[in-house]
Amino acid sequence: MPKDNNTQQRRPLSARRVAMLGSVAMIGATIALAGPLGHFQFVEQAFAAAPTSQTQGPAGFADLVAKVKPAVISVRVKLDEESNANASGPESENLPPSLQGTPFEKFFRQFGDGMQGGKLQRHQVITGVGSGFFISADGYAVTNNHVVDHAKSVQVTTDDGTIYTAKVIGTDPKTDLALIKVDGKTDFSFANLENQVPRVGDWVVAVGNPYGLGGTVTAGIISAEGRDIGSGPYDNYIQIDAPINKGNSGGPTFDTNGNVIGVNTAIYSPSGGSVGIGFDVPATTVKMIVAQLKEHGTVTRGWLGVQVQPVTSGIAESLGLKQPRGALVDEAQADTPAAQAGIRPGDVITSVNGNAIKDSGTLAREISGMAPGSSAKLDILRKGETKTFTVTLAKMPNETRKVARADESEQGSKGIPHLGLSVAPAGDVGGAGNKGVVVTAIEPDGPAAEHGLQSGDVILDVAGKSVSSAADLRNALSDAKSEGKHDVLMHVKTSDNTHFVAMPIG
């Protein structure tokens, strides 16, 4: 979870957001910087403002709740924040004289703004709360990474009010999961992770610690599955409408059999509170991640070494595919398993080990779920023919490649009017290489600009035909049009990557 270094004004520990129509808030820790009364008044106001609703459902969930609630825990973390902001001399020098020696002195040291003489306090303890649940009798428990991220200490409170000290075994920021452990006891109540994929429409019960209030139960249904909210490369969330709020992060969602179907992780929230759209990490993912965290403390993923993009309807039409499915290879990076196996740009990966690939996200999840060194059988569509490749996966590197667009190059001489761009041979433009044609100018409202092309991009081939001049480009477009195609696939290189663009030519 990204940290805010401003100690004057701090967001809740878990309040990170990602773009999705409005905002999607990670719902983990609720920060308590005020006393219990002030915190409760805030929660009370929040509840008073929330609209009431009634959901028709089964006769009741009381028996289910009595069965599963003892496995659910509240998670409290502490962060020690140091500040070097103009503090000098004994801390009492920063206190107003009226507070020195009073019961408020300790409170002021910890939470006060240190306004005396414009000096700030040098030390602050931040407390956050989230949720979690035991997965074994010997004290292993699951929560969210953003709940325990950078925690100096972790405490858990069980349903009967007992407080235990916990340690962080391992975390996985890419799926926002963490494994913690309470030592010294072997008879904790625990929950089982569901083996079956839940169905949309099934009843679910979410249990957690919203706003730090302790064990709270809400009910709803699974409203969607396979959600990608843009929070990470392996997004595959279960969407539920059981109300969950800040502090619910890391808590479980149960099916009617009492098995955990997912871990509460994010909410869609224009206002910061629940609007009935929550997102859970599926239990199948939790099982895989927790197993690695328990054994190694970290997660190791398989790596193929390709840059891919989804197959849009335009790309599918240009490739002769009946449906826009699969992952289109933009680039097989040098000295990677993909390149060594013979995978090329323009290949469409349609399945891995017999599992159909819906899009690039599906491919990422399939490959990352396999161990480095294992073999993967890839079915690939190449120029209308189906081929099969066996690839030995490598270990995913830690570095993240940054993609940047090229800067504008000098003006070319020949234009392609119906696309709204001008090009020049790559060999005539410094730094562009020797292959393809460089986009040297582009109309802001033209078809090329609308499909993402920019000045400085290099068009390597069109419809599988290499181009080295404006004439080559025109001829390739003309041939594609004469074959009755409405879209043509362009292989485009930027400064750091290559990708395909389906350009309409009708």
Residues carrying an active site annotation: 146, 176, 249
Task: Say which amino acid occupies 210.
Answer: P
Which two structure tokens, joined as six digits, stand for 349? 């990966």
Q: Which of 206, 281, 275, 276 is nearest to 238 (CA)?
A: 281
Q: Under DSSP, is residue 297 helix (H, G, I), strand (E, B) or coil?
A: coil
Q: String of b and e for 42-77 (b: at least 16 CB within 10 Å)?
A: ebeebeeeeeeeeeeeeeebeebbeebbbbbbbbbb
Kindly report the backbone phi and psi dihedral angles of residue 292, in degrees, each rounded to the nearest multiple of 5, phi listed first: -70, -40
Q: Which pairing describes strands 252-254 and 498-504: parallel, antiparallel, or unpaired?
A: unpaired
Which two structure tokens, joined as six digits, stand for 79? 């962060």
Distance linking the first and last C-alpha atoms of the chain:
47
Of how many residues is the chain composed? 506
The whole-angstrom separation of Cα 17 and Cα 412 is: 43
**In the 3-class helix/strand/coil scheme, how is 470-504 assigned residue by residue?**
HHHHHHHHHHHHHCCCCEEEEEEECCCCEEEEEEE
Q: Which residues does 265 contact at the CB level (< 8 Å), separation at least 6? A: 26, 27, 144, 176, 237, 249, 250, 279, 280, 281
Output Rg (C-alpha) for the chain, integer angstroms. 28
Q: How far does CA 128 lie from the centroid of its chain?
A: 22
The whole-angstrom separation of Cα 108 and Cα 151 is: 23
Distance set, CA 156 to CA 75, 77, 386 (Å): 5, 9, 54
Q: Which of 311, 221, 313, 232 is nearest to 265 (CA)?
A: 232
Half-sphere exposure of 127 (CA within 13 A, CB side): 15
